[in-house]
Amino acid sequence: MTVYRDPYRGEGSINRNWPGGYALITETRTINIPAGESVIRFEGVSEGLFPETAIVTGLPNGVREKNRDARLLSAAGLVDAYLKRQVTLTRTDRATGKVREQTALVTSGPDGGVILETEGGVEALRCTGLPERMRYGGLPKDLSAKPTLSVITNSTRAVKATVTLSYIAGGFDWQANYVLNAGKFADDHQIDMDVFGWLTIANGGAQSFPGTNLMAVAGKPNRVGNAALPKAPLPQLVLKCWPAQRTHEVPFTLPYTEYADEDFAYDEEIQVESARLFALPMAAPPPPPAPVAAVVAEQEDLGDLKLYRVPERVDVNAKGQKQVAMIVQPKAGFRRVYKGQSIYNGWHQPLLNLSPALVGENKKEKGLGLPLPSGQGMVFENADMGNQLVGEITVKDRAIGDDIDWFLPATPAVRVNTTLATQTKKSRSYRLVLSNSNPFAVSAEIKFPDTLRNLPKGMRRDDGIPTWFVTVPANDSSDITVEVPLQ
């Protein structure tokens, strides 16, 4: 199984209901083929299978016809298969227990309700107030317990063959999930960080794939979208009935719990809360250990793309996620810099909390030097009670040699106060006061509009953008005045 990312998801999280990526699945089966024309059914394929991509090899005379059987056996699937067909309706009288059976015709369903036509007229299933159920005359041939691909083939003689089925299926996705463990920051804001990356595979379908050779491809292959698959009915049978009374007569009561001895129940509740209020504070639990990589996915080149191969067979379970280590880089060099921009062309933000960023280079001499796929990350920092969560980051795709900026949530501990000092017909002058309430010095970078001229002291252009580079001492502030031309 080779999993490809959702090309339109960007750096967002995987859709757990139905992942937007896809997978190339290849499986081998040994089957007995009778002489003559026969139908071979591959049960248990992925429910997101695109039938036009299915390739079957190993048959003596090839494939004459392929069919994707999308209708699955379920309560709603049976109703859908029996539309305009007769069923047996069984009702039980609550008072006498007498069971009565009658023939009914299914005229509508299963979405929102099942409408039946009986000798007494037209009615909705389970809306009479009596226990009732439907009994079917048999299992329709086109209903399958599992998603199935069927092929028609011919053989001149009976033979035992090993066939290979390959297809592309939707409902899969993958991303990288990073765990970053930071030590203590040095006085020059440098830090060595352990970078650990999980390869997270998501399977949104109802089919499991045990013992799979699992791979994931990083990058964006050129893939043309497939035609929308016909939607099968939902497996659950949802029945809705309109109350027989008028709207204001429909009873409405709030659920509550009755106690055999209410006084005892309330006393017990008070005792429990009292114990909580006066309990001695407990010591914080020890921090979780750093991830240990028992198996690490191996990186390979696939043209201009990158392929990650899991070196041993794993189970990809239905409606689940599988994680395998893919990046283990201890002591990668980073620097903490607070970044932001408060002045734009024509307007400014009076008060701005700056965002701390982990700044680095994806180079081998800096402790990295390998492709970094996009995904989510969590940053932990050493504290007196052990590693504590600092924040979450969003990681974009980074090639070898790229600069890295991983932003943490903005903090009010480092903020810039911007005020309009003077204004003329041609320009505006702003005064910026950068304050630091931390007990340690911070390094900051403030961006300005590219129309800024006559850069003051402490400011230079970074990639063509005027930037104020400043170090603010602990519990102190720095200020600067800039003139922005009006367009």
Given 84, 103, 135, the domain boundary residue is 135
Tokens describing residue 341: 């921009």
Q: Mean pLDDT across the stretch 466-486? A: 91
Confidence at 106, pLDDT banded by 50, 70, 90: confident
User: 149 forms bridges with which residues in the sheet?
Assistant: 42, 68
Given 135, 151, 186, the domain boundary residue is 135
The predicted pLDDT at position 218 comes to 92
Return the ∠ at Cα 146 (arms to 144 and 152), rounded to 5°. 65
Tokens describing residue 423: 């204004």
Given 92, 108, 135, the domain boundary residue is 135
Q: Is residue 431 part of a domain?
A: yes
Q: Is residue 472 part of a domain?
A: yes
Q: Would you say residue 395 has pLDDT above 80?
A: yes
Conformation bin of residue 210: beta by default, left when phi > 0, alpha when psi is -120 to 50? beta
Omega within 30 of 0 (cis) for the link into 287 = no
Q: Mean pLDDT across the stretch 84-92? A: 88
Contact call for residues 318 and 205 (beta carbons, < 8 A): yes
**Alpha-carbon gap, residue 116 to 202, rounded angstroms:** 41
Confidence at 246, pLDDT banded by 50, 70, 90: low
* Interstrand relation of 320-341 and 442-447 (parallel, antiparallel or unpaired): parallel
Range of 97's domain? 75-135
Q: Would you say residue 391 has pLDDT above 70?
A: yes
* CATH number of the domain residue 81 falls in: 2.30.30
**Alpha-carbon gap, residue 463 to 482, rounded angstroms:** 19
Q: Would you say residue 251 has pLDDT above 80?
A: no
More confident residue, 10 or 272: 10
CB neighbour class for 47 (10 Å; exposed up to 12, middle 13-18, buried from 19): buried
Q: What is residue 266's three-state secondary structure?
A: helix
The predicted pLDDT at position 12 comes to 82
Q: Would you say residue 69 has pLDDT above 80?
A: no
The predicted pLDDT at position 82 comes to 80
Q: What is residue 267's three-state secondary structure?
A: helix
* CATH number of the domain residue 429 falls in: 2.60.40
Q: Would you say residue 228 has pLDDT above 70?
A: no
Query: What are the Cα distances from residue 148, in Å, to 30, 40, 66, 75, 417?
Result: 16, 10, 11, 18, 64
**Alpha-carbon gap, residue 376 to 202, rounded angstroms:** 15
Q: Is residue 486 part of a domain?
A: yes
Q: Is residue 352 part of a domain?
A: no
Dihedral (C-alpha) 361, 388, 177, 338: value to the nearest 10 degrees? -40
Q: Which amino acid is at 2?
A: T
Backbone torsions φ then ψ of 406, nearest 5 degrees: -110, 110
**Alpha-carbon gap, residue 110 to 106, rounded angstroms:** 10
Query: In 3-state terms, the chain is what percent helix, strand and coil (to 5)?
Result: 5, 50, 45
Q: Which residues contact 9 (CB under 8 A, 6 or more apart)?
A: 15, 20, 21, 173
Confidence at 225, pLDDT banded by 50, 70, 90: low
Q: Would you say residue 456 has pLDDT above 50?
A: yes
Q: Is residue 154 part of a domain?
A: no
**Alpha-carbon gap, residue 85 to 238, rounded angstroms:** 20
The predicted pLDDT at position 290 comes to 56
Q: Is residue 327 part of a domain?
A: no
Q: Is residue 355 part of a domain?
A: no
Contact call for residues 29 and 42 (beta carbons, < 8 A): yes
**Alpha-carbon gap, residue 177 to 394, rounded angstroms:** 10
Q: Which residues contact 241 (CB under 8 A, 6 or more apart)?
A: 113, 124, 126, 127
DSSP state of 407: E
Domain count, the chain: 2
User: 168 forms bridges with which residues in the sheet?
Assistant: 24
Residue with tokens 């250990």: 289
Q: Would you say residue 365 has pLDDT above 50?
A: yes
**Alpha-carbon gap, residue 63 to 37, rounded angstroms:** 11
pLDDT tens for each residue of 21-51? 999 999 999 999 999 998 888 888 998 888 8
